[in-house]
Amino acid sequence: MISLAIVLVCCVLQTTGIKPPTYFPNLPMGEYKLKFKAVFPCESTERHKLQYNTYLSKKSVNEFELKGNLTYFVPFDDSISININMASKGSIGGWKDNAHVYTTPNACSKMKFLFGDSWKVYVKGFNFSDTECPMKPGTYVATGIDVDKMTNTNFPKTFFYGEYKMAFTFTSSKGEKLGCTVLVLDILRPWEN
């Protein structure tokens, strides 16, 4: 009797053109889309050997470009280590450091791997002479890289939703801090704005 009622309801909904409501689960993690909010140096880059002087520029209401310059006084290669420290935005404001931490040697190769297909967009946008590691010393200028073209990466395909501040810190094999940059972004459910 119940199954007959379900079949009748489905038939009525299908013939009248009324669609049942779409279900959007409110889970704490899952597939996501990125919304970039800011890029800036961690601190003054004056003494850094790897200087990241970049920022986001608003192209239109919903479009942003990455602009600025990278100045390398030493090669960006696999002798450098990288630490990515993600702080999550608290429910009452403020940042909670060390929400996710990733530290690894071989910074150039790991960045290339993590960026995935976006690595070519990044390298081309900053006018590097080569897409392979190591990146030679010099000044590289980006006049506008569309950040929407930098979302095809090898970062995990599912993640915890929320607002994050990612600090990328680069250190030499001797422990010297070479450079640091911050990326602020929202990790949103696929249907959120």
Encode pLDDT of 39-65 as tens digits. Answer: 999 998 889 999 999 999 998 888 899
Enter the tokens of residue 139.
């000044």
d(CA 27, CA 191): 13
Which pLDDT score is estimated for 66? 94
Whether pTM > 0.85 for this model: the answer is no
Spell out the residues 6+ positions from residue 49 whose beta carbon is closer than 8 angstroms to its own: 72, 73, 74, 176, 178, 179
pLDDT at residue 53 in the model? 95
Mean pLDDT value across residues 145-156: 88
CB atoms within 10 A of CB 132: 11
Q: Which domains are seen in the chain, by residue range?
A: 29-188 (2.70.220.10)
Please state, rounded to an integer, the average pLDDT across all residues of the chain: 88
Which residues does 58 contact at the CB level (< 8 Å), separation at least 6? 64
pLDDT at 192 over 80: yes
Res. 93: pLDDT tops 90: no
Q: Is the pLDDT of residue 11 over 60?
A: no
Tokens of 71: 């100045």
DSSP state of 9: H
Contacts of 46 (CB under 8 A, 6+ apart): none
